[in-house]
Amino acid sequence: MNEIKNLPQNEISRRKQAKTIRFLRKLHRITGLILLVFILNMAITGILLGWKKNSYDYILPNNRQGITSNLKNWKSLDSLKKAAIQSLSDFSSELETDISRIDIMPDKGIVKFIFKDHYWGIQLDGASGEVVHIGKRRSDFLEELHDGSFLDRFFDSKFSFFKLFFTSIMGFSLILFGISGFWIWYGPQKMRKLNKRNA
């Protein structure tokens, strides 16, 4: 301890800087190894989600075109809902018909029905009520993997616990990686400047 006190101020600063860099490298490495699987999950699902509208219906079915965008010529939402449920039942009797979301797209002339317990969706023509497309929405599954809400669905969590935990941990981790990565890059430069002053 007395040895350090007797050192010049520049040398004390240099040693502190070296200690900080060693600590940050270790923290960066350990945190990176622990979170590697989660980071890869976010990166891969993020790339796939970015391409969802350009996947030729594989990740997300493209929006089809209905007969008219004039809402006056459309069937009632209730009759469209009944048509969607009947169409899904005709398509597969094993799929649940509870609706999660209804997307009304007047410019396309269609109404999209997304269901709760699976990843299938139906697009109906707003005017005729005819099915224009039935397809699997793999993007919904990818979104749940991306933000951790897949576990909320799996464990039937009502409070989005896993999503909140996962997104918080990953957000703070990326901030930590950014700060520690900057210091791992900047620290040695600062040390070189201190060494020049001491020389």
| Global pTM value | 0.80
**What's the confidence (pLDDT) of residue 92?**
96
**What's the confidence (pLDDT) of residue 18?**
81
In this structure, the strands spanning 120-125 and 99-105 are unpaired
The pLDDT tens digits of the residues spanning 155-173 come to 988 889 999 999 999 999 8
What are the backbone angles phi and psi of residue 135, rounded to the nearest 5°? -155, 160
**What's the confidence (pLDDT) of residue 51?**
97
**What's the confidence (pLDDT) of residue 6?**
62
Q: Where are the domains of the chain?
A: 2-51+146-198, 61-136
By CB atoms closer than 10 A (0-12, 13-18, 19+), residue 107 is exposed
Residue linked to tokens 């007797």: 6
Give the helix, strand, coil percentages of the chain, each rounded to 5: 60, 15, 25
Show the low-confidence residues of the chain (pLDDT under 70).
1-10, 194-195, 197-199
